[in-house]
Structure 1
């Protein structure tokens, strides 16, 4: 088989690989046809009590019911739902873990769920609790516990973010049904999936991870948006469905028109949050905090009798509001894109305040017309930055504020010969705002200015630059690159240089999936600041290299930022995002970079920058104390992000190296700048994840 060629799937191979799932599906349908329950509810059959499981069945000595009840569905509609659960849950488990494990998991979790759920129902009935007594009297049928449990077990064998998505979907489904409906089946499902979670990690060979795993900004947006949409759905269900659940009785009253208005508002907020807009995040926070404050006021002022008589739906709404607020606050870093409609006038010489889309547009115009000696200048146009403009109006400094430190990003973009003057004005503006300033990833020109004013400097990266005029993949030293190009050709994989935003949805979905899997497998979250992601690659000024086969499968991608030389002309491209699919062929990255270099060379560009990996210094003859700190942090972060390994990889392309500097007022300011930069890169990391840097990875 050729490298990188996907394995063809025939009907025979699918049947061979999923025979247990197919057998279960056929059995359930055959039993429904033979028993007449394909068109009539099982619960209406005279023999229902003899096959259904529950506390009454166990009390009557019908111990066979966990087996007999598993092959029936309560109604024709639930049969359809059950078949979907089996095909997805059992099918996925069998595909990933094999026949033997899937049979054991499905049958075992079905029995554990039924027996454990009935035991819980019996204990609830003993309490005299109204809902508990109701559940203790229920009877149920179906294989849904085994199917849902199999899905949770299978989730341990798939990659992030799909592992988390599948688990979240199953738990959300089970818990929602338990709260609103509260049937015996819901209790059985909960027991099955709780047991399945640790079982799955054991069967998949993964260690249980109690700490939340890092998510990309896109994933956080999707989760938050989904939660608001779920809130809308739950509000409607809680009004329309009349049932006594564990929180009390839902429904039964006349539908409140405001319920529909609230649901529509939640859905609208969810759509806005999906775009990562800061304005929608603020609106969502205000609209969730306001009713919470009113509830708190009501609790303080209203009589205890009225509070105690509050409906179950009211209690649930309060819980959902609290969860929404927490989710918005924890995930706030994912919502930094300013609204395109917001226009706010800010003083050009002032540092601080909220950046606007107009300022970002102005910053992009400065980069494209004035250019910069810094090949990373396009990074300064990203939406997570703010922008300061000098009094002359001719220039811009991109920056971020972390604590009491302003981090200038790269060289000031300005007219030739004005870099030092603009840098001086920027530092003064920071001081006027009561903040300390530093400039990060700067070139030698900024370092010379800094040392002339008595500042200190520290090499924080080595930019790898390829001169395209001299590039030729000939000779022994280029053997790996030629091998990559040849293997890709044999495997039918081609290189496409595209604007990602204009690509078909199928391509964009694959690119986001590859990136999300890469992020999900890291023990630390996706880094930001000078390291972009798929959002930045969607810029129509950015080229994206795709390694794609004849079937349209994307094996990997890289993104290339424009380099505007002094005067604004695009003279080259800077490498940003590098991602490859887990099953891609070995030389995917070499193929992508080499192919892009060949294309840029053919188009007449002068150079390609492979960028500089943060904190990946080259060996220094006599490193100073600050250099040793950078090396120590780089060593700590290396197992998680592989920056030093990335630098060694770039050496395959025989680049020349130019230092990138961090400049600050003195050693103390340099230490504060280091902390601020670490926060900027790891803005999404939790305290526990940061502590993990202090110990070696396992």
Structure 2
């Protein structure tokens, strides 16, 4: 008598059954896009946008429902591609930890991003800060605050060393977007990611291997150089003000890039001299940014721009990025203790005391062929 075989489900179907909340969120967003035609026309140009969008102006007027309604709309048709793909973090989180956990991360992250952004802009707009005053009047829609929180939580589930790598990529993305472009959505993304960073505490760079710590330092330095190139050639409009492409700063850029190329190999090998020189380069950029900030405070942005060789806005933003890199380099300073080898590349012979120390630590024995 043959036993009846139970049909095995397709792997894709098995995965889909474990992410019902993610699929439901995507389905609702797509359905809303079809019903209100946001999939093919800019929703932000419709009359309904001002009623359902969230932001400080609507919240100040008592429109408490906007954080919920604004979640399911998308401002431009092309943004749907990024909105839908951004749900991979929620799907991964739901697959690994269940529907309740994924929904909690999503909605806490979404609501925190919206409300914390409104609070930050409310406080900052009281200062003579043009960027804050402009963004405080802006409205936004979208699910990206929650999806960024879920992406951060999903990265926390990665295995080492991909967990640290994923965290650094995500933090680099949100900080760079905030510093150089700085729209309301960028601030929401940054705050959502920082919330998960503080709550989950899964970013622990000091527990990675020495090789990994050196590699992260090298990549971070190269990314910082790439950012300097891009921001010198592409217009930006962040919290420190707008800049024009190729508008200046070429001397500083060339100097930084030459030094970065020289130092990359030294950092990868863990050389102490490379670490020291990177620290000095970072301190120089930070001091330049501090000087610019002091001059702007004493005089004015326009007066400083007239006499400054390069964009003061880029100097401020780059100085902030260097602060982050220097904090990391200080945290992993023990990874950069390698000394330079002798000219012939031969290590010195061990002394009698070295041999005794090794024997006490590892023992000894004989081996016969």
Secondary structure of the structure 1 residue equivalent to 2:207: coil
Alpha-carbon offset, residue 238 of structure 1 = 3.3
Alpha-carbon offset, residue 220 of structure 1 = 0.9
Residue 230 of structure 1 corresponds to: 223
1:192–1:163 distance in 2 versus 1, CA, 3 Å: same
Q: Distance in 1 between matches of 2:231 and 2:269?
A: 29
8 Å contact kept, 1:55–1:121: yes
Alpha-carbon offset, residue 249 of structure 1 = 1.1
Alpha-carbon offset, residue 332 of structure 1 = 5.4
Alpha-carbon offset, residue 127 of structure 1 = 3.4
Residue-by-residue CA offset, 1:374-410 (whole Å, 9 max, x unaligned) = xxxxxxxxxxxxx22xxxxxxxx14xxxxxxxxx4xx
1:27–1:318 distance in 2 versus 1, CA, 3 Å: same
Residue-by-residue CA offset, 1:414-435 (whole Å, 9 max, x unaligned) = xxxxxxxxx5xxxxxxxxxxxx
Q: Distance in 2 between matches of 1:124 and 1:291?
A: 28
Residue-by-residue CA offset, 1:500-538 (whole Å, 9 max, x unaligned) = xxxxxxxxxxxxxxxxxxxxxxxxxxxxxxxxxxxxxxx
8 Å contact kept, 1:52–1:66: yes
Secondary structure of the structure 2 residue equivalent to 1:460: helix
8 Å contact kept, 2:285–2:322: no
Secondary structure of the structure 1 residue equivalent to 2:361: strand
Residue 122 of structure 2 corresponds to: 122
1:326–1:211 distance in 2 versus 1, CA, 3 Å: closer
Alpha-carbon offset, residue 222 of structure 1 = 2.2
- TM-score after normalising by structure 1: 0.43
Alignment of 1:19-168 (within 5 A): 19-87=20-88, 89-168=89-168
Alpha-carbon offset, residue 245 of structure 1 = 2.9
1:96–1:355 distance in 2 versus 1, CA, 3 Å: same
8 Å contact kept, 1:232–1:262: no
1:226–1:291 distance in 2 versus 1, CA, 3 Å: closer
8 Å contact kept, 1:235–1:259: no
Q: Distance in 1 between matches of 2:259 and 2:23?
A: 40
- TM-score after normalising by structure 2: 0.77
1:359 aligns with 2:345: yes
| Structure 2 residue corresponding to 1:249, chosen from 236, 241, 245 | 241
Residue 460 of structure 1 corresponds to: 361
Alpha-carbon offset, residue 266 of structure 1 = 7.2
Structure 1 residue runs of 5 or longer lacking an equivalent are 1-7, 202-207, 338-352, 361-386, 389-396, 399-407, 409-422, 424-436, 444-458, 468-605, 607-698
1:166–1:286 distance in 2 versus 1, CA, 3 Å: closer
| Structure 2 residue corresponding to 1:289, chosen from 280, 284, 288 | 280
Alpha-carbon offset, residue 216 of structure 1 = 0.7
Alpha-carbon offset, residue 143 of structure 1 = 0.7
Residue 232 of structure 2 corresponds to: 239
8 Å contact kept, 1:225–1:269: no
Q: Distance in 2 between matches of 1:210 and 1:33?
A: 40
Q: Bigger shift: 20-29 or 98-107?
A: 20-29
8 Å contact kept, 1:231–1:320: yes
Q: Distance in 1 between matches of 2:259 and 2:85?
A: 29
8 Å contact kept, 1:152–1:167: yes
Larger gyration radius, structure 1 or structure 2: 1
Structure 2 residue runs of 5 or longer lacking an equivalent are 1-8
Alignment of 1:417-566 (within 5 A): 438-441=354-357, 459-463=360-364
Residue 210 of structure 2 corresponds to: 217
Q: How many aligned residue pairs are there?
A: 348
1:106–1:235 distance in 2 versus 1, CA, 3 Å: same
8 Å contact kept, 2:267–2:275: no
1:128–1:10 distance in 2 versus 1, CA, 3 Å: same
Secondary structure of the structure 2 residue equivalent to 1:126: coil
1:328–1:78 distance in 2 versus 1, CA, 3 Å: same
Q: For the aligned residues, what is the CA RMSD?
A: 3.9
Alpha-carbon offset, residue 319 of structure 1 = 4.0
Secondary structure of the structure 1 residue equivalent to 2:16: helix
Residue 170 of structure 1 corresponds to: 170
Which one has the bigger strand percentage?
1
Residue 4 of structure 2 corresponds to: none
Alpha-carbon offset, residue 144 of structure 1 = 0.8
Alpha-carbon offset, residue 106 of structure 1 = 1.0
Q: Distance in 2 between matches of 1:72 and 1:297?
A: 43
Alpha-carbon offset, residue 96 of structure 1 = 1.6
Alpha-carbon offset, residue 168 of structure 1 = 2.6
Residue-by-residue CA offset, 1:671-690 (whole Å, 9 max, x unaligned) = xxxxxxxxxxxxxxxxxxxx
